[in-house]
Amino acid sequence: MVLKVSAKEAYGINMGMTLCNRGDCHVKSSKVGNTEQLYTVVEKDTRYELTLDFSNSIIELSTFYDCPHVRLSVAMMLESEAEAYV
């Protein structure tokens, strides 16, 4: 399956995403502006961990009571279907 994760942040926050599988964290998004996308191929019945990284962002300067928000969109499709789009 092809996994697509999109993020749109508010308040000028630059966020990165990392997808890990059993400690192997080789899939990373870029930190460009306040919209990120992460694409990768995933396997059935496998556990993955998605980490949101707010370092290098103005959230590092915010107080505990500030509450930025992130909209995440997750989509999956069969790898054979994704080839038609490419």
Question: DSSP code of 83?
Answer: H
pLDDT per residue as tens digits for the range 5-60: 888 876 667 788 899 998 888 888 876 567 888 888 998 889 999 888 877 677 66
Domain ranges of the chain: 2-78
Q: Is the pTM of this model over 0.75?
A: no
Cβ-count burial 25-56 (b if 16+ within 10 Å, e if not): eebbbebeebebebeeeeeeeeeeeeeeebee
Q: Can you name the residues that pair with 39 across neighbouring β-strands? A: 4
